[in-house]
Amino acid sequence: MSVLINSKTRLVVQGITGKSGSFHARGCRDYGTNVVAGVTPARGGEMFDDTIPVFDTVIEARQATGANATMIFVPPEFAADSIAEAADAGIELIVCITEGIPVLDMMRTKALISSSKSILIGPNCPGIITPGECKIGIMPGYIHKPGNVGVVSRSGTLTYEAVWQLSCRGLGQSTCIGIGGDPIHGMTHTDALKLFNEDTATEAVIMIGEIGGSEEEEAAAYIAEHFKKPIAAFIAGATAPPGRRMGHAGAIVSGGKGTAEGKIAALQKAGVAVAKTPAEMADVLIEKMKSCGIKIP
């Protein structure tokens, strides 16, 4: 099983005719994702690679193809409106890859999404993949293998590192979700953990966080009360100086809040096995799984 996407997902790509949009649309299609449409205003009626119809609007694409997910590669100044357009069209899953969207734009869009039936992943994220079935995003598909470990992360590159470690140790993944590193974004760690908790085929989870914000502490509170599956975590940014943004726009410690130490302490109190370095993520999870009686391949 998987969460959110599978082989039946029907994907539309907003910004499919741009350089990045076209490149990654092909990558998703070649992986096996059912890319049914593209959207670029004023380019409606064209065909992308002679096989994928392009529409002027998302609602036209949805009505014509039955698309239920979208991948957004639109410049930052227009990306928030593109998210809103997808939600207005009734797209169930919105994956926004674009980075650099103004915070005020995302505040308005986050409020709109919260009152809709759409689920937003991102922005500034690598996307989501169910190995062997569907890829929506920019992750290297070849490092993934089907299995029973869920992965949720604020960092794209650390997601890839965790996945590669798992695959090399014979542990496949159910679904991997990169939620993004911007201060205002859609899906949170807790949202993803709830999905993995309900997925009977997901036996264990790796959760990757970083300094800034309080979402990891909120996830720890959820884990302590509700999450019964083995979970390992890593928190990036332990050596970051206070007040300085490190990498992601949301990765900043200020006012004594959002520190790596505080997040690690909260997770450990909730029973999460926390890796000290990125190189140990899979090994720490394996030990946790063994202690819970789960057989390792």
What are the start-end ranges of the H helices in the chain? 19-31, 58-65, 76-88, 103-114, 156-168, 189-198, 215-226, 260-269, 281-291
How remote is the C-alpha of 236 from its chain's centroid?
A: 17
Question: Which residues carry out catalysis?
Answer: 248
User: Does residue 150 contact residue 205 with C-beta atoms inside 8 Å?
Assistant: yes
Compute the C-alpha angle 59/25/174, nearest 5°: 95
**Residue 143 CB contacts under 8 Å (≥ 6 apart), including other chains:** 160, 163, 164, 167
Nearest C-alpha neighbor of 248 from the set 236, 257, 234:
236
DSSP reduced 3-state for 73 = coil
Cβ proximity of 121 and 192 under 8 Å: no
Residue 290 and residue 292: Cα distance in Å, rounded?
5
Q: How far apart are CA 272 and CA 230, in angstroms?
A: 8
CB count, 10 Å around CB of 211? 28
| Residue pointed to by tokens 């599978």 | 6
Closest C-alpha to 196, from 158, 163, 228, 154: 228
